[in-house]
Amino acid sequence: MSMYFEPALKHRFRRQVLRISRASGWFWDRLLDNRICAQCSVSLASRNVAAVFFSKWNKIILRDTGMKAYTLLGPVRPVVAVLVLAVLSDNLQVAAAIDDRPISAPVGTQSGLDAQVTQLIQQLGDEQYAARQRAQEQLGDLGMATFDALLEACRHEDVEIALRARYLIRSMPVRWTTDSDSTAVRNVLRHYDQTNHAERRNRMQQLARLENSQGIPAICRLMRFESDGLLSKQAALCAMHHTAPSDQQQKAALADLIRKHVGASKRPASVWLRTYAQTLVAPELAIVAWDQITQAELLTFAQFPQQTDRRLVRDLLRWQVDLLRRLERQEESLVVVRRTIDLLEGRREELFDFVDWLLDRKAWGVVDEVADRFPYEFYQRPKLVYRLAEARHLRGDHESALETAERALKMEPGKPDHHNLMAGYLTSRLLYDWAEAEYRYVLELTDREDSSHIEARFFLSDMLFDIQREFDAAEILTVAAETIEQNPRVLSQLPFRRTPSEVRGATYYYYAMHHARRGDYLEQQKRLRQAVAADPANPDFMIAMYRCPNPEPAWKADAMQRINAAKDRLRQQISLLEEEVRENPGDAAKRQGAIEALATEYNELAWLISNTEGDYAAAVRYSKKSLESRADNAAFLDTLARCHYANGDLKNAVKSQQRAAELAPYYQQIHRQLEAFQKELAESGRTHSD
């Protein structure tokens, strides 16, 4: 195939074809890729061209000699061949196309610079190749001062201008760090320019999490100079979601800092950050601006979806909702909440995320609207049906909530493992009655020796004990203990490790705590003796013995003897495990197993000391060692809080207990302990003030 271009028609033809190609999207998106732009700039500057392009589907080889251009094509689309040749063919008459028209010299004022940049950008689309090339070179020499104007030119109606502007943007050497950045900021941004889209988002989030807003200037920098418009907007969102200072004076200083680093940027995300700066100091005055911003982004998503994306628009709307809720504008927030429904596509993960977000914002009525919008997707998934039931329960429609929960319970019949998992989910949502119904369904459905049946009894008894229904917990677990004693092989089918003696010991312990709640301490002691006889290593049993009211001297002595023996055993085990860790530096699996076991032993030792007698400062150290490998373990943090409390540090006890409660919102014992610590801390503060 060959093509001939008359000099007078070539430029006009090339522009028209490229305008057509822009509408098609297929070729335009790939032509604007940085690698192809680089190839284009090389070919445009050459007198004789031999360019090889590889696309997703085909290989195109172009050669030109004088007035003719030849192409060797595989089975490519004909229009693509025309488009590529049209773009590259303008170098055929370079020698005769020298443009000697002057370009204005730089002007010292900002307005003069803006005028010069505007003129140069227009000349990127000049009919003369030399003028286009010289304008491109001068814009490159002006550097970052041209960034905003070039970014806007990327969407110019003249495709030649848009193409060259895009190339200039991507070839700009942006310095992502400055001398004023902290070490933490520089570490986060190291090799930023070499990372992909997902990693750049991750780096932005890391900057937003840095303490004292130290990452905000860098985030503003990313917003300004990220060549990807979506990443620019993502940077702004990260700044908006970061933890701002609570002090009003510090907020004002942060607002000034943001305005300074956003500068005169004209990017859409710069408007977001300027409005965010205003929100920091006068949130009520920014409400109208935020509504305009979100409406504009919704319109952009509808008309120019390549300039934004569904998730980004969603997050922007959610930020507006949270702002309105903080300002106690509930009705206005619900209006914005409903706008987010139109962004839904009905995907499973999307619906779960959205409904959970609605429940957290107390937009309970909107959950019904989502269910009406996506009835098939909603009523095929028990978890979503339970979420709907929860929303109805929270808004006070208890009869409808119960009917909806019963509908969810009847789903997936004959699948005990499913119902055990569903019960665990409901427990995590503090929906204990519905969780119990799921567990009892499994008990009715399965044989006593079935692994699903035993699991249901274990989990149900744990849940009932946590919500202080100790007798019911003991009764449920007794059946499991009897079954296991009759057939110990049942335990081998379970995904977790428990011995028959541990199960029986827990049964006695639950009965003991039931009698303690009733004030029957003699019966409590009887049951505790049975518990420690069955499982003498359990620290909770020994702690209960130590705390038993009005003990006889022999009882107290027995308790202390058991506690001291347990401490010695734990210290010995810790020494053995530490040695195992040291001796296996090259065996990663064995070493990690020893580290995890060591953390458990440290935690048990710290728990035992802090709840009885001993070196409480040492208990704090032991607890912190356990957290070195499990920093977000709620049970271990609960232990650390108890250690701080025993050591007289109420403030840190509350801090650690709060973190444990955040990680395990379903664990009522942790929350009860937090309330006790907070109450004592408040009372101690009042005592000191008095």
474-531 tens-digit pLDDT? 999 999 999 999 988 888 877 777 889 999 999 999 999 999 999 999 999 999 999 9
CA distance between the termini of the chain: 97
Rounded CA-CA distance 641/652 in Å is: 7
Residue with tokens 């955040």: 662
Selection from 368, 422, 417 nearest residue 391 by Cα: 368
Single out the residue in 119, 150, 171 at which a domain terminates: 171
502-513: buried (b, 16+ CB within 10 Å) or exposed (e) per residue?
bbbbbbbbbbbb
- Residue-wise pLDDT tens digits, 326-352: 999 999 999 999 999 999 999 999 999
Please tell me whether residues 28 and 64 are part of one structural domain.
yes
Residue 449 corresponds to which tokens in the numbers above?
Answer: 């020796």
- The answer to whether 99 and 130 have CB atoms below 8 angstroms apart is yes
Rounded CA-CA distance 525/129 in Å is: 97
User: How is residue 89 annotated by DSSP?
Assistant: G
Per-residue confidence band for 111, with pLDDT thresholds at 50, 70 and 90: low
Please tell me whether residues 82 and 6 are part of one structural domain.
yes
Please tell me whether residues 114 and 164 are part of one structural domain.
yes
Helix (H) or strand (E) holding 631: none
Please tell me whether residues 76 and 137 are part of one structural domain.
no
Please tell me whether residues 17 and 91 are part of one structural domain.
yes
Residues β-bridged to residue 70 = 2, 63
Residue 513 corresponds to which tokens in the numbers above?
Answer: 């705590």
Selection from 662, 617, 615, 616 nearest residue 638 by Cα: 662
Q: Per mean pLDDT, which range of 50-59, 100-109, 170-179, 561-570 is the poorest?
A: 50-59
Q: Is residue 161 in a domain?
A: yes
Rounded to the nearest integer, the mean pLDDT of the chain is 83
Residue 71 confidence (pLDDT) above 50: no
Rounded CA-CA distance 125/98 in Å is: 15
Please tell me whether residues 78 and 10 are part of one structural domain.
yes
Q: Is residue 428 in a domain?
A: no
Per-residue confidence band for 30, with pLDDT thresholds at 50, 70 and 90: very low
Q: Is 16 left (phi over 0), alpha (psi -120 to 50) or beta?
A: alpha
Q: Per mean pLDDT, which range of 5-19, 92-106, 201-215, 383-397 is the poorest?
A: 92-106
Single out the residue in 124, 152, 171 at which a domain terminates: 171
Residue 87 confidence (pLDDT) above 80: no
Residue 261 confidence (pLDDT) above 60: yes
Q: Is residue 422 in a domain?
A: no
Residues β-bridged to residue 59 = 54
Selection from 155, 123, 132, 148 nearest residue 40 by Cα: 132
Q: Is residue 150 in a domain?
A: yes
Structural domain of residue 39, as residue ranges?
A: 2-96
Residue with tokens 């107290």: 556
- The answer to whether 222 and 235 have CB atoms below 8 angstroms apart is yes
Do the strands 59-65 and 2-4 form a parallel or antiparallel pair, or are they unpaired?
unpaired
Residue 67 confidence (pLDDT) above 70: no
Q: Is residue 123 in a domain?
A: yes
Which residues have C-beta within 8 Å of that of residue 644, sequence separation ≥ 6? 620, 650, 652, 653, 656
Q: Is residue 127 in a domain?
A: yes
Rounded CA-CA distance 69/74 in Å is: 16
Most confident of 9-23, 583-597, 671-685: 671-685
In this prediction, residues 588-594 reach a mean pLDDT of: 85
Selection from 654, 655, 647, 648 nearest residue 677 by Cα: 654
pLDDT score of 676:
96
Please tell me whether residues 70 and 127 are part of one structural domain.
no
- The answer to whether 609 and 615 have CB atoms below 8 angstroms apart is yes
Number of helices and strands in the chain (H, E): 35, 4
pLDDT score of 98:
29
Residue 589 confidence (pLDDT) above 70: yes
Residue 107 confidence (pLDDT) above 90: no
pLDDT score of 287:
96
In the chain, the amino acid numbered 491 is: L
CATH number assigned to the domain comprising residue 155: 1.25.10
Residue 604 corresponds to which tokens in the numbers above?
Answer: 């048990």
In this prediction, residues 142-155 reach a mean pLDDT of: 73
Q: Is residue 633 in a domain?
A: no
Residue 59 confidence (pLDDT) above 50: no
- The answer to whether 78 and 3 have CB atoms below 8 angstroms apart is no
Selection from 71, 315, 128 nearest residue 205 by Cα: 315
Residue 20 confidence (pLDDT) above 80: no
Number of domains in the chain: 2
Rounded CA-CA distance 209/223 in Å is: 16
User: How is residue 95 annotated by DSSP?
Assistant: G
Which residues have C-beta within 8 Å of that of residue 57, sequence separation ≥ 6? 76
Rounded CA-CA distance 63/43 in Å is: 10
Rounded CA-CA distance 125/139 in Å is: 13
Please tell me whether residues 91 and 119 are part of one structural domain.
no
Most confident of 63-67, 122-126, 434-438: 434-438
- Residue-wise pLDDT tens digits, 398-412: 999 999 999 999 999
Residue with tokens 């271990």: 636
- The answer to whether 640 and 627 have CB atoms below 8 angstroms apart is yes
Rounded CA-CA distance 607/443 in Å is: 34
Rounded CA-CA distance 147/139 in Å is: 9
Rounded CA-CA distance 267/261 in Å is: 13
In the chain, the amino acid numbered 179 is: D
Residue 3 confidence (pLDDT) above 60: no
φ, ψ of residue 495 in degrees (nearest 5): -80, 0
Selection from 511, 519, 521, 608 nearest residue 565 by Cα: 608
Largest CA distance in the chain: 112
Residue 16 confidence (pLDDT) above 80: no
Single out the residue in 72, 96, 120 at which a domain terminates: 96
Please tell me whether residues 8 and 84 are part of one structural domain.
yes
Q: Is residue 143 in a domain?
A: yes
Residue 517 corresponds to which tokens in the numbers above?
Answer: 């709640």
Please tell me whether residues 77 and 27 are part of one structural domain.
yes
User: How is residue 73 annotated by DSSP?
Assistant: E
User: How is residue 63 annotated by DSSP?
Assistant: E
φ, ψ of residue 493 in degrees (nearest 5): -85, -10
Residue 113 confidence (pLDDT) above 60: yes
Q: What string of DSSP letters covers 264-305? A: T--SHHHHHHHHHHHHHH-GGGGHHHHHHHHHHHHHHHHH-G
Higher-pLDDT residue of 102, 238: 238
Give CA separation, 533 vs 154, 521, 542, 558, 569, in Å.
79, 18, 11, 12, 17
pLDDT score of 491:
81
Q: Per mean pLDDT, which range of 81-85, 487-491, 584-588, 657-661 is the poorest?
A: 81-85
pLDDT score of 109:
60
Assign 71 to helix, strand or coil.
strand
Tell me what percent of the residues of the chain surpass a pLDDT of 90: 64
Please tell me whether residues 7 and 77 are part of one structural domain.
yes
Please tell me whether residues 118 and 91 are part of one structural domain.
no
Per-residue confidence band for 127, with pLDDT thresholds at 50, 70 and 90: confident
In this prediction, residues 38-44 reach a mean pLDDT of: 36
Alpha helices in 519-587 (DSSP H): 521-534, 539-547, 553-583
pLDDT score of 110:
61
